[in-house]
Amino acid sequence: MQSNFDSNSYHTSEKETLSIPERIRLDSRVYFTLKYASIVFRTRKEAIRGLYDTKAWTDSSFEILKFIEKTGGIFHITGMENITKSSGPVLFISNHMSTLETMILPSIIGTQKELTFVVKESLVKHPLFGDVMRSRNPIVVGRTDPRKDLEAVMNEGVEKLNNGISIVIFPQSTRSVEFKPDDFNSLGVKLAKKAGAVVVPIALKTDFWGNGKVIKELGPMNHNKHIHIKFGEPMSIIGNGKEDNQKIVEFIKASLEEWK
């Protein structure tokens, strides 16, 4: 599958000058929500009909990226060469800030690696997003029983990685604008260690897309904030993984500090 990007880094180009009516329309939260909802409903219909394959997923993800740009979002994506430095499946370990990364990462990674996510059970049961997420055969965790979640991630994760499927995991218990290292558990490195998989850390700053009060995934856009996604160098897990997990934490912290 051909990449959506022509080089290993991507930066949103300056938008063409818009008329005042166009700017008001495109910067409107109502307009964004309606357009985004139309994409969600279309992909949900495709998923229900069994037509939402990897290409459809990456295409709709890229459509959302371009729409975010059209409404004023500015992307800075770097380190994409690290996605394919390992020829086999990869475990991507990332901080988790907003809905945006769940929507956008497939357009970046999914054209290069067969991909799925570790997701909360509430997402696969969501009335809007559930059908789409289930179609991607994710690893589902409940976030209420750590032992059960560990078992699911370890067993299903190893199986998927052994079958050539890369995985994105967010070790934080929930989305958070503030990165707290104490909330960044070692589940990802434990899975990589058990599967013998290469890890590619991801640092991201996606607070451009806020959380909604009624529907968390449909929050306001903050056009004063740029969107940053950085892929780090591939890592092999050594020993018990504690030092490697700390390296991932430091990579994320340093990147967020750089983007302030």
Confidence at residue 36, expressed as pLDDT on a 0 to 100 scale: 87
Q: How many domains does the chain have?
A: 1
The residue segments making up the domain with residue 83 are 16-258
In this prediction, residue 139 has a pLDDT band, given cuts at 50, 70 and 90, of very high
174 lies in some domain: yes
pTM: predicted TM-score of the whole model, two decimal places: 0.92
Tell me the CATH number at 86.
Answer: 3.40.1130
Q: Is residue 61 part of a domain?
A: yes
Classify residue 153: in a domain, yes or no. Answer: yes
Residue 140 lies in a domain: yes
In this predicted structure, the answer to whether residue 63 has a pLDDT above a threshold of 80 is yes
Is residue 10 a part of any domain in this protein? no
16-44, pLDDT tens digit by residue?
Answer: 445 556 555 555 677 788 888 899 999 99
What are all long-range contacts of 141-146, with beta carbons under 8 Å and residues at least 24 apart? 143/173, 143/174
* H helix or E strand, kind and range, residue 139: strand 139-141
Flag whether 176 is in a domain.
yes
* Mean confidence (pLDDT) of the chain: 90
- Answer yes or no: is 143 within a domain: yes
7 inside domain? no
Contact 69, 177 (CB under 8 A): no
Helix (H) or strand (E) segment spanning residue 141: strand 139-141
